[in-house]
Amino acid sequence: MDAIHDPAPTVGADRIALVMLPGARDRAQDLVEQGFVRALRQRGLAVDAVIVNAHFDHYLEHSVVVQLEQDIIAPLRERGLARIWLMGISLGGMGALSYAREHAGAIEGVILLAPFLGTRGLIAEITHAGGLLHWQPGTIAPEDDERRLLAWLRQYRAGDPALPRICLGYGTEDRYAPASLLLARLLPERQVMTLQGGHDWPTWLKLWERWLDGDAFAASSQA
């Protein structure tokens, strides 16, 4: 799993490593070209950006978490970077949460932009049950990554120091908005952001810029 590395120009004791995951059909370079790294640099944040080429095959082969740990995040820890955040867009949001589920103690937080959390049928099943807290996931097949992830989110409790902070942003006209709404109900209002828009780069960039202008990288213990 290769990546584009863009270290912060300034050195700080409280430095953050931000691992960014694109959507299913997008490349790491797309996040650069669409202005996501530029937005970081314009704000002078002491954040090292690592934009990962996590492509669709990593998800089909159920290898995204293993390769993130092996190729990206373990080397960051070896460099002494203790504050590690993930940011995922669309399917990249599922990748970020999947890593958080298996390595909760390794990261400080996750920023999700219009995350893909499951198929329409699965999201409809959970909505019909009254939300994640009322849903019973039942028996989970070994390769059912979506149901397994949503079962973990069902038990997520914001503010738990053993769990990473989750921040969520999505457009109100986004085709995955029903799934985001299910997750939003588990999070404090300050960790959820919406604006008018669809499942597209302009909406994601506006959400990203607003997070950066707020307290996006507040640690869970500070939230």
d(CA 24, CA 59): 9
- pLDDT per position as a tens digit, 48-90: 999 998 877 777 777 889 999 999 999 999 988 889 999 999 9
Comparing 22 with 54, the larger pLDDT belongs to 22
Amino acid found at 76: L
- In 3-state terms, what secondary structure has residue 109? strand
Q: Which helix (H) or strand (E) holds 170?
A: strand 165-171
d(CA 115, CA 85): 16
Q: What is the pTM of this model?
A: 0.94
Q: Which of 21-25, 58-62, 179-183 has the lowest mean pLDDT?
A: 58-62
d(CA 83, CA 73): 11
179 has pLDDT over 90: yes
Q: How would you label 24-45 residue by residue, b for 16+ Cβ within 10 Å and e otherwise?
A: bebebeebbebebbebbeeeeb
Residues 111 and 87: beta-carbon distance below 8 Å: yes
What pLDDT, on a 0 to 100 scale, did the predictor assign at position 216?
79
Residues 209 and 37: beta-carbon distance below 8 Å: no
d(CA 45, CA 11): 10
pLDDT band at 9 (very low <50, low <70, confident <90, very high): confident
d(CA 185, CA 187): 6
- pLDDT per position as a tens digit, 101-145: 999 999 999 999 999 999 999 999 999 999 999 999 999 998 899
Q: Are strands 109-113 and 83-89 parallel, antiparallel or unpaired?
A: parallel
Which residues are within 8 A (CB) of 202 and not within 5 positions of it... i.e. 6 or more apart? none
**Helix boundaries (H) for the chain:** 28-33, 36-42, 56-60, 64-67, 74-78, 91-102, 120-128, 145-154, 177-184, 201-212
What pLDDT, on a 0 to 100 scale, did the predictor assign at position 221?
42
What pLDDT, on a 0 to 100 scale, did the predictor assign at position 222?
42
